[in-house]
Structure 1
């Protein structure tokens, strides 16, 4: 059960109802701070729809962050979203097992970068490899993505946001380790 109320459209003034055009639990909780919700959604929308980073690689970075954080909400949502953007079941299983031998070199590099962002920041060697394989804009978008989703998983955990029933099948098919 979430630590703050989930709001619905009718709980919001007319000029803020657009914040719930996607009425997922996270957005319903964040609308308790309309300005915060708008800023949060703005960066999230840029990452999903404006970033120059390859969508499959973007989603793999997000999945890596969700997996490390053991965030059921983030993991379930981005398993679904990732599959819509080209993430294969074999990609997901590689993240789960840690066996990346079947992944292409760029995917392995992106997962390593995401792990390093989670642990405090990319090493010079990883940065240099990213710079050799991505434009500066793509590299920046990758770091923004991993960093933003580090924040997302902390918000989800701190507010105890519930996974919606529609996303539970993704957790059942691709379960997080038991605590």
Structure 2
């Protein structure tokens, strides 16, 4: 059970009743601060619909953050999003192999994106080698948007963990199809 009340659209002042994604538990929890929730949603919508960053690379980075932190909520939700943006099941399965240092079917740029997400999640810094690969392959705007996405979702997994946001039952099938590491047993979030 979440540490804050999940709000519904009707619980919000009229000027916030158009809040996007009010069916998701994270939005319903964040809606306790409607202005903050709107700003969070705005950045998410920018990354998803306006950024020039390749959507596959964006979703791989976000999935890697969820995988690395063991955030069942973030990971399951973004498996759903990734599949809707054309990320393949093989790409999603490759995250586990790449995270374990094993060979994967991913091309060098996708592997560098995953490495960047792991480095920034685990060490809070980006190695010169990883930065050089990304800087060579991406234009400056896409590189910055990738770093913003990794930073944003690192923040979100921590908010979800702090609030103990519950994973909606319809998303649990993604965890069965694409399991998190054994250490991530908690169905809500574990860092």
Measured against the shorter chain, the TM-score band is over 0.9
Counterpart Cα distance in 2 of 1:8 and 1:47? 25
The match for 1:113 is 116
1:56 pairs with 2:56 = yes
- Secondary structure of the 2:115 match is helix
Compute the RMSD of aligned alpha carbons: 1.2
Could you report, residue by residue, the CA deviation over 1:128-155 in whole angstroms, capped at 9, with x for unpaired residues?
2111100000000000000100001000
Q: 1:53 to 1:100 in 2, by over 3 A?
A: farther
Could you report, residue by residue, the CA deviation over 1:156-175 in whole angstroms, capped at 9, with x for unpaired residues?
11100011112111112112
Could you report, residue by residue, the CA deviation over 1:105-140 in whole angstroms, capped at 9, with x for unpaired residues?
111111111111112121122112111100000000
Please report how far the alpha carbon of residue 67 of structure 1 lies from its aligned counterpart in structure 2 after TM superposition.
0.2
Runs of 4+ in 1 over 4 A off after TM superposition: none
The counterpart of 1:173, out of the listed 177, 185, 191, is 177
Asked if structure 2 preserves the Cα contact closer than 8 Å seen for 1:53 and 1:141, the reply is yes
Please report how far the alpha carbon of residue 21 of structure 1 lies from its aligned counterpart in structure 2 after TM superposition.
4.3
The match for 1:31 is 31
Question: Aligned pairs, how many?
Answer: 179
Asked if structure 1 preserves the Cα contact closer than 8 Å seen for 2:97 and 2:104, the reply is no
Q: 1:150 to 1:54 in 2, by over 3 A?
A: same
Please report how far the alpha carbon of residue 178 of structure 1 lies from its aligned counterpart in structure 2 after TM superposition.
2.8
- Secondary structure of the 1:19 match is coil
Gaps of 5+ in 1: none
Counterpart Cα distance in 2 of 1:53 and 1:69? 23
Which TM-score applies when normalising by structure 2?
A: 0.90
Gaps of 5+ in 2: 184-191
Counterpart Cα distance in 1 of 2:134 and 2:16? 39
After TM superposition, the structure 1 = structure 2 runs for residues 1-179 of structure 1, keeping only pairs within 5 Å, are: 1-98=1-98, 99-118=102-121, 119-179=123-183
